Amino acid sequence: MWWPRWPDSPEIPGLARTLPNKVLDATDFKANHSPMNLPAKKLRPEVREPVALRDRAIDNLRFIRETMERSASFTHVSGIGGVGMGAIALAASVFASGYDDPVGWLVVWLVAAALSFSVAILTMARKSRAEGIPLLSGPGRRFVWNVTPPLAAGAVLTLALAYAGLTHLLPGTWLLLYGTSVVTGGSYSVRPVPLMGLLFMAAGTAAFVSPPGWGNAYMAAGFGGLHIVFGIVIWRKHGG
Q: Using one digit for the tens of pLDDT, what is the confidence trace for 115-143?
A: 998 998 888 888 777 766 666 666 667 77
What is the average pLDDT across 28-41? 55
pLDDT interval class at 1 (50, 70, 90): very low
Whole-model pTM: value is: 0.66
Residue range 2-17: mean pLDDT, rounded: 49
State the DSSP code for 74: B
Closest alpha carbon to 187 in 226, 154, 145 = 145
Distance CA 74, CA 142 (A): 9
The residues, any chain, with a CB within 8 Å of residue 205's CB and separated by 6 or more, are: 172, 176
pLDDT digits (tens, 9 = 90+) for 45-73: 555 666 555 555 565 555 455 444 444 45
Q: CA 171 to CA 102: how far, in whole Å? A: 12
Residue 215 has pLDDT above 80, yes or no: yes
Q: Calculate helix-pair angle for 170-186, 138-163, nearest 10 degrees.
A: 170
Q: 183 pLDDT exceeds 80?
A: yes
Mean pLDDT estimate for the chain: 76
Residue 98 has pLDDT above 50, yes or no: yes
Task: Answer yes or no: are the C-beta atoms of 155 and 163 closer than 8 Å.
Answer: no
Q: Terminus-to-terminus CA distance in the chain, angstroms?
A: 108
Q: Which residues of 109-136 are buried (b: 16+ CB within 10 A; e: fewer)?
A: beebbebbeebbeebbbbbbeeeebebe
The confidence score (pLDDT) of residue 71 equals 44
The rounded distance, in Å, linking the Cα atoms of 60 and 73 is 22
Rg of the chain, C-alpha, whole Å: 40
At 109, the pLDDT band (50, 70, 90 cuts) reads very high
